[in-house]
Amino acid sequence: MSINIRAVQQGFVGEVTAINLCAPITQAQADAIEKGMDDYAVLTFPGQPMTDEQQVAFTRNFGQLEITLAGQMAKPGERRFQQLELGDISNYANGDTSRHYAREDKKRLYALANRLWHSDASFRAVGAGYTLLHARVVPSKGADTQFADMRAAYDALSAADKAEVENLVCEHSIVFSRQAIGFDDYNPGFDEHLKPVPHKLVITHPKTGRKSLYLSSHIGGIVGWPVPEARAFIRDLTEHATQPQFVYSHKWQVGDLVMWDNRTVMHRATRFDDLKEVRDLRRTSLKGIGLEVKLPQAEAVAA
């Protein structure tokens, strides 16, 4: 049976039905989903009561899984899932489902940077392609995830602005997004992960050929620009790219799976009362084919 995709926001967000993600899918179904990801940029799959194993198996249909930096940085005893491919996007303290993170807990404070517009893992040499989030427990209010269409934002730039951004290379690091919220309390031994990496500001999707702005709160500079000028410019572009006409807000229901392409959208979490209520989502991500940068500036940035 062929899958059904209904446009929620034309050319941006589609809702997929007539598929069961709790069982293996066929190659034809995987191809149809991939085409849907290219036609849209965000796909939602309501009513999919998947297990962790089913989510990992479903994700493998689309490429090689990434491991999350938060999972990597946590001590093994404090990890909720031993499998590093499975991201714990919950407010349970160190995976202990009987208690929430306390207000001052540094893992809570680190994760609050998800509330800034970002593209997953843009702080890695190869950022994430698709990310998949699955909802297990949702709070009574708030906690939407918002998405902004970076192809539409690029298309809406003036010809002069397009020419200005075309060849710019940005420096991304987890340090910059955390600096923006005043967090700098890293565990020792992760310096390697904190170094800035270069990414082009305008990227071309390897399959659709469409250009998008590769923006992210992880950006802290533009190669060859003074830092204040770069940050002011990135702020302007981010404001442009996140205007309401480019944004979709997903209101979570238990059992929703939402999948997006980090090469074509930014996203952010929104507030909820995380000291009183529980929100438990599971995340899987894929390596972003087509995001490799081979530029002479790469050495300069890494030095």
Q: Which residues bind Mn ion (CB under 5 A)?
A: 120
Total residues found in the chain within this entry: 303
Which residue is at the shortest CB distance from ligand OGA?
A: 269
CA distance to 41, 115, 182, 236, 244, per residue, from 146 (Å): 13, 9, 22, 19, 11
Smallest separation (angstroms) from ligand OGA to the CB of 4? 26
Smallest separation (angstroms) from ligand OGA to the CB of 146? 8
Rounded CA separation 125/119 (Å): 13
Q: Which helix (H) or strand (E) holds 191?
A: helix 191-194
Using the minimum distance from each CB to ligand OGA, give the nearer residue, 123 or 233.
123
Using the minimum distance from each CB to ligand OGA, give the nearer residue, 88 or 171.
88
- The yes or no reply on residue 59 touching ligand OGA (CB under 6 A) is no
Smallest separation (angstroms) from ligand OGA to the CB of 267? 6
- The yes or no reply on residue 13 touching ligand OGA (CB under 6 A) is no
Using the minimum distance from each CB to Mn ion, give the nearer residue, 29 or 44.
44
Rounded CA separation 6/15 (Å): 5
CA distance to 138, 139, 270, 279, per residue, from 142 (Å): 9, 7, 7, 10
Q: Within 10 Å of residue 3's Cβ, how many Cβ atoms?
A: 17
DSSP string, 245-269: GGEEEE---TT-EEEEETTTEEEEE
Smallest separation (angstroms) from Mn ion to the CB of 218? 10
Smallest separation (angstroms) from ligand OGA to the CB of 223? 26
Please give the residues from 82 up to 121 whose contact with ligand OGA meets the rule CB under 6 A.
89, 114, 120
Number of residues that bind ligand OGA (CB under 6 A): 10
Please give the residues from 141 up to 180 whose contact with ligand OGA meets the rule CB under 6 A.
145
Which residue do the tokens 């999972």 mark?
A: 71
DSSP string, 15-26: EEES--TTSPPP
Residue 269 partner contact from ligand OGA, Mn ion, none using kind-dependent CB cut-offs of 5 to 8 Å: ligand OGA
Give me 247's structure tokens: 């944004």
Give me 4's structure tokens: 């059904």
Smallest separation (angstroms) from ligand OGA to the CB of 222? 24
- The yes or no reply on residue 283 touching ligand OGA (CB under 6 A) is yes
Contact residues for ligand OGA, defined by CB under 6 A: 89, 114, 120, 131, 133, 145, 267, 269, 281, 283
